[in-house]
């Protein structure tokens, strides 16, 4: 078994589902945003403000490279923008099975509308920003994913069960080829 990597837009449930999946599979959970925050001793919001988005994206790439060197098996939640870099998508595939947690913009907005820690949502009309960013990112997430899981209107238990089934089927297919 290799690692399971959860990708998707902010608020789709990567961290929450990742922790629950980690427990169900008895596999350590890692969150790349938390790893980066510990490394630089700043929140992601502070990092964006002080160093800029490009610097943060470089840290994400380095984080994935470091995880590849460890050669461990994890459940990994990555930042919403990590999969946008082509290099990162290639690295994620080497790291394990990539799962896109897909949600519609209304679900995302409901989950993040009161969260002031998300730097990309600050400013006017966050709903339009979410819709626009999701429209741009969805095809990238889809191309990066080995498995796509729709999380809208599903309980955590349903999502975890769906992931478990899909990972098992995906692993069987890849072993045979």
From first to last of its 177 residues, what are the pLDDT tens digits of the chain? 589 999 999 889 999 999 999 999 999 999 999 999 999 999 988 998 899 989 999 999 999 999 999 988 999 999 999 999 999 999 999 999 999 999 999 999 888 877 777 666 677 788 888 899 899 999 999 999 999 999 999 999 999 999 999 999 998 888 776
Cα separation, 23 vs 166, whole angstroms: 17
CATH of 3-176, one of 3.40.50.300, 3.40.50.10260, 3.20.20.70, 3.30.230.10: 3.40.50.300
Q: Tokens representing 92? A: 């994620």
Domain boundaries, the chain: 3-176
Q: What is the pLDDT, as a whole number, of residue 114?
A: 76
pTM for the structure as a whole: 0.93
């Amino acid at each position: 078994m290799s690692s399971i990597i959860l990708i998707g837009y902010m608020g789709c449930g990567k961290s929450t589902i990742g922790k629950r999946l980690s427990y169900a599979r008895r596999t350590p959970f890692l969150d790349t945003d938390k790893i980066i925050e510990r490394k630089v001793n700043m929140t992601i919001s502070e990092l964006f403000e002080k160093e800029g988005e490009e610097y943060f994206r470089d840290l994400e790439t380095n984080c994935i490279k470091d995880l590849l060197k460890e050669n461990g098996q994890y459940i990994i939640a990555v930042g919403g923008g990590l999969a946008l870099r082509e290099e990162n998508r290639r690295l994620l595939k080497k790291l394990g099975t990539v799962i896109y947690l897909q949600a519609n913009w209304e679900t995302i907005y409901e989950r993040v509308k009161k969260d002031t820690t998300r730097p990309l949502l600050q400013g006017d009309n966050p709903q339009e920003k979410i819709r626009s960013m999701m429209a741009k990112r969805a095809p990238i997430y889809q191309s990066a994913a080995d498995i796509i899981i729709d999380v809208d209107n599903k309980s955590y238990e349903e999502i975890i069960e769906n992931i478990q089934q899909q990972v098992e089927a995906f692993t069987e297919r890849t072993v045979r080829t």
